[in-house]
Amino acid sequence: MKYYITTPIYYPNSSPHIGTAYTTIAADAIARLRRMKGDDVFFLTGTDENAQKIIRTAESCNMDPHSYVDGIVEKFRELWKLLNISNDDFIRTTEERHEKVVQNIFNRLYEQGDIYKSEYEGWYCTPCETFWTQNKLADGKCPNPDCGREVELLKEESYFFKLSKYQDRLLSYIQENPDFIQPASRRNEMIKFIEGGLEDLCVSRTTFKWGIKVPFDPKHVVYVWLDALINYISALGYPDGEKYKKYWPADVHLMGKDIVRFHSIIWPITLMALDIPLPKKVFGHGWYLSREGGKISKSRGNVQDSFELIRRYGSDAIRYFLLKEMQWGVDGYYSEDDLVEKINSDLANDLGNFVSRTLAMIVKYNDGKIPVPGQDTELEKELKELSSSVKQAVEDKMLACDPAAALEFVWQFVSRCNKYVDETTPWNLAKDPASRDRLNTVLYTFTECIRILGIFCAPFMPGVPEKIKPLLNNQDLFSDWDQADQWGVLQPGTHVQKGEPIFPRIDVAALMAENPPEQAAEQMTEASKEQKAQVKSQAMPELKEEISIEEFSKLDLRVVKVLEAEKVEKTDKLLKLKVEMGQEIRTIVSGIALHYKPEELVGKKVILVANLKPAKLRGIVSQGMILAASQGELLEVLSLSKDIPTGAQVK
């Protein structure tokens, strides 16, 4: 089955940033999954270089446009390589192969009467590369909510494309094909926009020379939004190329919500005029917003150095965070604090710790060899059923361009694997020779869970299988998606090793030492006082006054096991926990719901202040306090890695 997926082509007016990276990472994850399923995938990305803003940026750097974009394009290529982007082609609109197709299409549209010459007078926003009529301006400025900058009145001879001629045909197509524009909110916006009436589109400029010349009138250059959109077929060799015949129409055009209008109006009308099939889906995801407010964009000056973030945290961690935090159809939020918290909680604690501790038990209890499994119990059967349902759910969500939801299902399996360890208690089985067969089954299941997790993670974090591979004796086990719900693949007797953690915890103290909050705050502008206060608040709190050993000994700290956990209704921060302390069951209300999902705590052994006077919170009597460490927005419950019985005293 063929599968063609594209990102938009990006403006190379400055280095790529996190907001830019999301679209490419999401497209890459979808492409990787389709390849793992055996599809014949073509994945396209590239750069949109024939824009007026490129000229102005290059001039500000005292460079000619071509030399300037060459340097920036290399930055894009370098970043995509660091992020393990698996694109099959990278199209530049300054390439000859693209120029020829654009001129061919312009000629054809002109000859059939869909393009005509006239004179244009209107308001132009250079950053958005968009013309606006007077009645669309917002207080005389660009109406784009992410822009709002000055516009300039232009009057020049131009060629126009008859969008109005195809208005009714496009509207009918969108209404008859509800999946064509997704999510539904974007589709409804486009229907409303078209129903308001389409004006013919200015498709040439004469006030500058940078761009593709109109072949029969070379004083004109082709307007960027006709030129750029054609890349999706010029890269395939339209009209006679084998790739064009094989892969068109595109299965998904993936992009940010701000350019959906161009892709769902100008582009399909162009294709209709050329009698070319329309792409199957145009998907407009949300923006990444900074926690301090506003879209992350170069124009706002709130971008972070993508290369520095990868150096600091690794590409897999960046990929995971960006994919996980962008919920379907809405905006996502980015902050480095959130990134570190996700790395430590999801990747280090949940995934990495499961791999490390289970392999360590195989090394300890079976000399590092995968044992021969015995009979399955209900626990193993439940894991196998879950892997099958997760596999299908991930496929469905990725087909709907929803990596965040797909990762939610993957992490259901991660959580269940961790719970399986606590339920089977291999450390107890190892003490009893009569339980050897059961221990072998548990240890074997551990290795199969690790293998399946490697497959589940591969589309999203392609470095994870490469980290797991040497731990499982360098077996190539992660490229076939169909094996994600097949069990019994690993051969007993295979040597495994614990190795280094696949996701080490981020040392927040060391990270802050590298970039001290006081120093970071000093670098902020006067306009960022609120952010400055937030950064300083992350510094280590002052030590409290000294106490005597007698005063400390009044605290009764006990090991407890979390049996149940649920959110307290009508609160964001509170979890209600049932914990086991020896033979006693207690109820605890803990303000950790922003940092832990209830299922993440079940089975954990944690530390309880057991002699704290009971208190009623939201009508629930809380019989103690769970200990946790926190710094800024980071929080982690203190838990035990060894099998110490509940009720044991912490001294």
Query: How many C-beta atoms surround the C-beta of residue 193 within 10 A?
Result: 14
Above 60 in pLDDT, residue 523? no
Torsion of CA 230, 234, 235, 239, to 10 degrees: 130
pLDDT in the model for residue 539? 41
Q: Sign of the CA dihedral 458, 462, 464, 469?
A: positive
> Domain with 367 in it: what CATH number?
1.10.730.10
Burial 412-429 (b: 16+ CB within 10 A, else e): ebbbbbbbbbeebebeeb
Residue 215 lies in a domain: no
pLDDT in the model for residue 482? 95
Least confident of 34-38, 250-254, 277-281, 572-576: 572-576
Which domain does 626 fall in, by range? 549-637
pLDDT in the model for residue 515? 59
Distance, CA of 274 to CA of 234 (rounded, Å): 14
One domain, residues 430 and 412: yes
Structure tokens at 97: 């192969």
Least confident of 189-198, 379-388, 471-480, 563-572: 563-572
Angle at 512 between CA 506 and CA 516, to 5 degrees: 165
pLDDT in the model for residue 366? 96
pLDDT in the model for residue 381? 97
pLDDT mean over 49-64 = 79
Above 50 in pLDDT, residue 314? yes
pLDDT mean over 10-31 = 87
pLDDT mean over 283-307 = 64
**Pair type for strands 40-47 and 2-10:** parallel
Per-residue pLDDT of 425-434, as tens digits, reads 999 999 999 9
Per-residue pLDDT of 470-482, as tens digits, reads 999 988 899 999 9
One domain, residues 374 and 399: yes
Residue 260 one-letter amino acid: V
Helices and strands (DSSP H and E) totals, the chain: 25, 23
Above 90 in pLDDT, residue 450? yes
Contacts of 131 (CB under 8 A, 6+ apart): 120, 122, 123, 124, 125, 154, 202
pLDDT in the model for residue 516? 53
Higher pLDDT, residue 15 or 465: 465
254 in Cβ contact with 291 (< 8 Å): no
Above 80 in pLDDT, residue 19? no
Structure tokens at 486: 């097949």
One domain, residues 536 and 557: no
pLDDT in the model for residue 550? 64
Higher pLDDT, residue 51 or 181: 181
Per-residue pLDDT of 404-423, as tens digits, reads 999 999 999 999 999 999 99
pLDDT mean over 632-646 = 77
pLDDT mean over 437-446 = 97
pLDDT in the model for residue 532? 35
One domain, residues 446 and 369: yes
One domain, residues 343 and 364: yes
Distance, CA of 136 to CA of 147 (rounded, Å): 14
One domain, residues 363 and 467: yes
Residue 516 lies in a domain: yes
Residue 162 lies in a domain: no
pTM: 0.76
Above 80 in pLDDT, residue 302? no
By CB atoms closer than 10 A (0-12, 13-18, 19+), residue 281 is buried
- Percent of the chain past pLDDT 90, that is, above it, reads 59
Residue 178 lies in a domain: no
Helix (H) or strand (E) holding 424: helix 403-424
Query: How many C-beta atoms surround the C-beta of residue 354 within 10 A?
Result: 21
Residue 119 lies in a domain: no
Torsion of CA 104, 108, 114, 116, to 10 degrees: 70
pLDDT in the model for residue 531? 34
Left, alpha or beta for 140 (phi > 0: left; psi -120 to 50: alpha)? left
CA-based nearest residue to 121, from 164, 163, 144, 152:
152
Least confident of 285-289, 379-383, 456-460, 576-580: 285-289
Above 80 in pLDDT, residue 142? yes
25 in Cβ contact with 82 (< 8 Å): no
pLDDT in the model for residue 258? 87
Band of residue 139 on the pLDDT scale cut at 50, 70, 90: confident
pLDDT in the model for residue 644? 85
One domain, residues 372 and 456: yes
Residue 354 one-letter amino acid: F
Distance, CA of 402 to CA of 231 (rounded, Å): 25
One domain, residues 441 and 577: no
pLDDT in the model for residue 631? 60
Above 80 in pLDDT, residue 2? yes
Distance, CA of 295 to CA of 288 (rounded, Å): 6
One domain, residues 393 and 437: yes
Distance, CA of 449 to CA of 390 (rounded, Å): 13
One domain, residues 624 and 572: yes
Above 90 in pLDDT, residue 144? no
**Residue 546 Cα distances to 287, 536, 551, angstroms:** 49, 25, 10
pLDDT mean over 121-145 = 76
One domain, residues 628 and 521: no
Distance, CA of 348 to CA of 67 (rounded, Å): 43
Least confident of 3-12, 72-81, 190-199, 544-553: 544-553
pLDDT in the model for residue 136? 75
Above 80 in pLDDT, residue 518? no
Which range is most confident: 221-225, 371-375, 571-575, 629-633? 371-375
One domain, residues 524 and 593: no
Left, alpha or beta for 197 (phi > 0: left; psi -120 to 50: alpha)? left
588 in Cβ contact with 579 (< 8 Å): yes
Above 80 in pLDDT, residue 281? yes
Higher pLDDT, residue 600 or 282: 282
Distance, CA of 76 to CA of 200 (rounded, Å): 34
Q: What is the mean pLDDT of the chain?
A: 87
Residue 265 one-letter amino acid: I
Distance, CA of 417 to CA of 355 (rounded, Å): 10
Residue 72 lies in a domain: no
pLDDT in the model for residue 524? 34
pLDDT in the model for residue 125? 79
Query: How many C-beta atoms surround the C-beta of residue 105 within 10 A?
Result: 23
pLDDT in the model for residue 597? 82
pLDDT in the model for residue 290? 66
Residue 358 lies in a domain: yes
Least confident of 18-22, 264-268, 486-490: 18-22
Residue 225 lies in a domain: no
> Domain with 610 in it: what CATH number?
2.40.50.140
Band of residue 126 on the pLDDT scale cut at 50, 70, 90: confident
Q: How many domains does the chain have?
A: 3
